[in-house]
Amino acid sequence: MSVSASIEALKMAEVVIVAIDAVEGIHDQDLQIARLVEREGRACVIALNKWDAVADRNASRKAVSDRLETSLAQMKGIPVVTISALTGIGTDKLLPAVRKAAEAWNTRVATGQLNRWFEVALERHQAPLVEGRRLKLRYITQAKARPPTFIVFGTRAEQTPEDYQRYLSNSLREQFDIPGTPIRLQFRGTKNPFAEED
């Protein structure tokens, strides 16, 4: 019952705080909840509770960061706040992290800025070949915020390989400072007016 209540609350939220026991580290269930946060398109903050009871803080922090990096790469840069519910230490940092995550979730980027970044990103790492022909990605626009959703247009853009989609998403996240929130990239091909129809 508590899991279904959490899922319902998650669907209504804008920013989700995933509380993790810092002594035990990240469990698979924690990651499943975080993946659900991503799938629902919500911003996320990780709260590492019981930080006062952790013996080797550097090792614990590194273990959490590594696990998030490998298991939640699509939400790169999730803010991690160390707290102790028992002593209250670090809880004052939680709300500012939530506000920053909400800001990233509401990000809007001007089309001109987006396309200047897009040109540089394409120059830095050329669009791949698909079926022996290079994709011609032409421009990008932001369809909406909450979460930030972008549409890339170009010839056969819908055939863009996943690794190139990831490259664009990570570059976009870095350029416009959108950490810890899902970024949606959609690819739309332009129809060739000279192509023969069946």
Q: What is the CATH number of the domain that holds 88?
A: 3.40.50.300
> pLDDT band at residue 8, thresholds of 50, 70 and 90?
confident
Of 105, 139, 171, the residue at which a domain comes to its end is 105
Do residues 137 and 67 share a domain?
Answer: no
Which residue segment(s) compose the domain that 67 sits in? 2-105
Domain boundary among 105, 127, 152: 105
Shared-domain flag, residues 117 and 151: yes
Q: What's the rounded mean pLDDT across residues 127-143? A: 92
Instruction: State the CB neighbour count (10 A cutoff) for residue 94.
Output: 16
- Lowest-pLDDT range of 39-48, 49-58, 70-79: 70-79
Looking at 105, 127, 148, the residue that finishes a domain is 105
Mean pLDDT of the region 15-42 = 90
The pLDDT of residue 110: 95
Looking at the fold, whether 94 and 163 belong to one and the same domain comes out as no
Taking residues 148-156, report their average pLDDT.
Answer: 95
Query: What local confidence, expressed as pLDDT, does residue 198 receive?
Result: 45
My answer on whether 117 and 157 are in the same domain is yes
Residue 120 above 80 pLDDT? yes
118: pLDDT strictly greater than 90? yes
Amino acid at 79: P
